Structure 1
Amino acid sequence: RRGGCGLRGSLLPSLLELAHATSQNLGFAHRDDVHVSYGEETITETNLLELRRRHPAIITLNTFGKKKEAKNGADWEWHIIGRHRTFRMRVQAKRLQKDDKLKIPHKVKSSGDQQIDLLIKDAKANRLKPVYCLYSAERQRDHWKKENVGGGYEAFEAGCLLAHAQTVKAMMPKTLADIETDCVPWHYLVERRDYAQRSLTDVLDVDGSILRFMVSSADLRVATGSDRSRDSAAAGGFPTLDELYAPDRPDREIEGLVEVDEPEFEGRGSEAEYRERGISRLIKIDVREFPERPEPKGQADE
C-alpha cells in the first residue's frame, strides 16, 4: 500500500526527503571541484521553508528580525502540537565541516558565554527541550548510514540528526562518530523506523543551475529488518505522535512536553518576546487531527 495518505503519511516523506537532500547537497558541496558554501543558515531556512510550502494546512512558520548575535544558542524553536500535549524544542543547527570536524564550542561575544550553555539555560527557563540538529553527508556517518535495500527501492540518507544538548555538552564531540549513536534522525518524530522509497533520484531535480525539491510518490517501505530506535536511548527522549494525541501522559518523563491546557502557555510568545530572546524562527506543526499511520510494504528482506 502507498503510505502517502493522512497527515502522518504526508509529513513522514517530507522529513525523509529533506534529510536525504541535506545529506546529498552537503556531500556535493564538500567536493573539491564545487566552490559553494552550504552553511547551517542556508540548510535550515531551505528545509523549514520547504516544510511550510508542502504542508500549509498544518505548518506555520514565523521569522523574526535578529540582532547581529543572538543572546542564546538557538537557531529556531519547534513546536509539535498534539490534541492533549505539545512537544517544544529549542534547536541549534550545526553542520559537519568538509574535514569531518564538528565545531561545537562557540563563545558569544556579547556575553562571553558558550553558545551551548545559553541554549540549555534558555530552554530550561522556558520548559523546552534543548536540541542540536546535526547536518552531515552520507560518507560522514557510520551508524545512520542507508541500507542496501534492493528490489527497486533505495534507502533515505539521514542528513538531519537530533541530539540532546546536554549530551552534546557532556561529550563535546569533535566528530559525528563521537556522538552518532546518541542521535536520531528527525523523521523519528513521526515514525521510528528507517524507510526506503522508489526513485529517490526524483527527490532532487536539477535543471541547469536551478535545484528544485520534488514531492515524490510517497511509495515507502521499511528499509531494515531491525529497528535501530529500540537500542537508542536518544529515541526515548522524544515523544511519538501517538503520545501527543493520547489522553494518558507517557509513563516516562520527556523534557519539553507540555499539556495543552496549561494556562502558562496559552497565548504566550509575542514577536517582541521572540526577538528579545534571540529567536529567529518559530515553526509549529499542528497534529491535533489524528494522523493515519502509513502502512509500508514491509521489510526489505521479505
Structure 2
Amino acid sequence: MFIEQAYKGDNTPWKVALTTLLTTGIFIVNFMYVFFFLSATEVDQMYDMLKTTPKNVMLVANLFPFALLLGLLFLMVRALHERSLLSLTTSRKKIDFGRIFFSFTFIVLLTIGTFWISYEIDPSDLVWNFDPFKFSVLLVLSVLLFPAQIAFEEYLFRGFLMQQIGVATASRAVPFVITSILFGLFHSANPEVGEMGPGVMVFYIGTGFLLGIMTLMDEGLELALGFHLGNNLMAALLVTSDFSALQTDAVFRYTAQKDSGDMLSEMIVSIVITYPLILLILGKKYKWKGWREKLFGKVSKVEPKTISHDEYSHLS
C-alpha cells in the first residue's frame, strides 16, 4: 500500500519536521509576506509590476526554484530518511510510466476538446495570439521546467506529506484531507486569487482532493503526476489572460473582463461534474475497488511488501 511505504525509512519526528520546513519554508514566508505584511493596494501594485516583466523571465523565475526544491526533497528522503525514491512514488516494484503517459494524454485531449467546443460556440472572448518564435521558446521552457514544478508539488503533498501524516495518524482520511487543503493554500498567493477573489480557492482545494483520490485509489503518484503535468502545460500553452498566474505567449489570449462569479461557477462545474467523470474513467480503466477502505481506512503499521504490477492488478 502506498502510505505504508513510509515504514521503509526513518520517520523520526524531527527529521520529518526538518524536511518539511526546508522544502516549504520559502512558500510559508511568501504566504505570510503577502497576506500579513502587505496591504491590498500594495499586493495589487506588486502584481501589476510583475505583469510588466518579460513573460519568459517570469516563467523561469517562477518555475526554476521548484527544480532546486525537488532536488532538495529527493536528497533529504534518500540521505536523512534512508528511503528509496521508488517508495516515495509508488507501491509497485517499479514506476509505471504507462500510467503517467495515459493520464497526461487524457487531460491534454480533454482540455483541447472542451476548449475547441467552447470556441466553436462562442469565440468572441478569445483572440489568436500565436507567434511561432515566441511560442517555440515558451514550449521549450515549459517542457524543461514544468515537470520539475509539478513533480515537486506531487512528491511533497501526495508523496512525502501524505505518507508521513498517514503513518503518524494511522489513518488514510487525515492525510487525504489535510494534504488536499494544504495544496489549495499553497496556491493562495497566486495572482488569480487576488484578481478573482478567495472563491477560486475552492477550485485549488478541489483539485487537491482529485489528485489525492488518484493517488490513494491507484496506490501511487503516477496518475497524479501525468494529470498535473498535462493540466499545467495546457494552462501555459493554450490560453493566457491578464489574470493568469503566469503570463505566457500562448496560442490564444482571453480578452474578456474578468467576472469572478462566472469563473467561480465554471470552476464549481469542473469540480462537481468534470472531476467525478475523470475519476470514473480512471477507476474503470484501472479497476479501482475498495474506495471506502483506500480513502478512509486505517494505515497498517507493518512494513509493506512492494508488489508487482501483475500482483497489483490481481488484488484490485
What's the TM-score bracket when you normalise by the shorter of the two chains? under 0.3
In the superposition, the TM-score normalised over structure 1's length comes to 0.27
The structure with more strand, counted as a fraction of residues: 1
The structure with more helix, counted as a fraction of residues: 2
* Max Rg structure: 2
In the superposition, the TM-score normalised over structure 2's length comes to 0.26
